[in-house]
Amino acid sequence: MLFKRTLSEEQLESEKLKDYQRVVMVQMLIVVLGMVLAGLYDPGSDTPGGLFVNLLFSGFGVLYAFLLWDMMRNFTQNLPLISIVFFVLIGIVITGLIVENPFIQFVPGDLRRPFLMGIHGALFPIEVLVISFTIVDVFGGKYMSTERLWGAACVFLMIGISFGSLYDLINIIQPGSLGEELELGLPSYTECIYYSFNVLGGLDTAYPNPTKLVRNLGVIESVWGNLFTVLIIGKLLTLPSKENKS
């Protein structure tokens, strides 16, 4: 069934591993290729390079949304919750493809602002929900496994991407929140992702004068990311492997 996943314990562990790996791979593509290509081509321009970056991000965004929902089905059998998240993500994808269409401008200029606010305002809680489920799964295991290592990597990267969505939401509501004006849409989002992973990695950013709200959220992200790293290392190192469980 579309909204229900009935698997044995062994099948579920295998499915979790596959889903974690898929999500991490897409996250890495979003971060690495996105940052490199957005640095070479202006994603807000009508040049072939800009259109390609926009189209690439749109494709990864659709895939990432589906993988988040598919992964969530490993953690809960709550059909109303699974259904709500599915239809919200469908709405986010459709709205995003209309508002950020690289070939046809359905919604011009500043009129995109409320739509982009809705996209990030709906996406961020879903990301937090999936992160919460994943953390419970990773820390709830009795044995060290490859699945939990991939799950830890998934959470760490999702922290950076979800905070990027949050920073972009703030920048849409209050333009110039990072310290300078950013073009609405993909140009702003890629810069917010860049800012988020700089904060998460403890690096200096190109935005030294963000608003107090963004600055304080950056501190929370940095502390949370480092705390998660310390806790997950401590947890996984103390777990026995499945081969030694007897």
**121 or 148, which is more confident?**
121
Predicted confidence band of residue 85 (pLDDT cuts 50, 70, 90) = very high
Q: Which two tokens stand for residue 1?
A: 């069934």
Average pLDDT, the chain: 86
In a domain, 82, yes or no: yes
Residue entry with tokens 């949050």: 166
In a domain, 1, yes or no: no
In a domain, 140, yes or no: yes
Nearest to 36 by CA among 158, 197, 180: 197
Handedness of CA 38, 39, 41, 44 (dihedral sign): positive
Residue entry with tokens 């889903």: 19
Q: Are 66 and 89 in contact (CB under 8 A)?
A: yes
Residue entry with tokens 């480092």: 226
End-to-end Cα, the chain, rounded Å: 36
How many folded domains does the chain comprise?
1
**142 or 168, which is more confident?**
168
In a domain, 3, yes or no: no
28-65: pLDDT as tens digits: 888 887 778 777 777 767 788 778 888 888 888 899 99
Which pLDDT value is given to residue 240? Answer: 67
Residue 243 scores a pLDDT above 60: no
Beta bridge partners of 144: 241
With 0-12 CB in 10 A as exposed, 13-18 as middle and 19+ as buried, what is 96? buried
Q: Is the pTM of this model over 0.85?
A: yes
9-32: pLDDT as tens digits: 788 888 888 999 999 999 988 888
Beta bridge partners of 241: 144
In a domain, 130, yes or no: yes
Which residue range is the domain that position 15 belongs to? 9-239
In a domain, 244, yes or no: no
143-169: pLDDT as tens digits: 667 888 889 899 999 999 999 999 999
In a domain, 245, yes or no: no
Largest CA distance in the chain: 64
**25 or 1, which is more confident?**
25
Buried b (16+ CB within 10 A) or exposed e, 13-45: bebbbebbbbbbebbeebbeebeebbeebbbbe
Q: For the residues 169-196, what does the mean pLDDT come to?
A: 90
Handedness of CA 75, 76, 77, 83 (dihedral sign): negative
Which pLDDT value is given to residue 162? Answer: 93
Nearest to 154 by CA among 51, 241, 68, 41: 68
In a domain, 67, yes or no: yes
Q: Which two tokens stand for residue 32?
A: 């690495």
Which pLDDT value is given to residue 67? Answer: 92
185-218: pLDDT as tens digits: 888 888 899 899 999 888 877 788 899 999 999 9
Nearest to 137 by CA among 10, 20, 4: 20
Which pLDDT value is given to residue 32? Answer: 81
Predicted confidence band of residue 1 (pLDDT cuts 50, 70, 90) = low
Residue 244 scores a pLDDT above 70: no
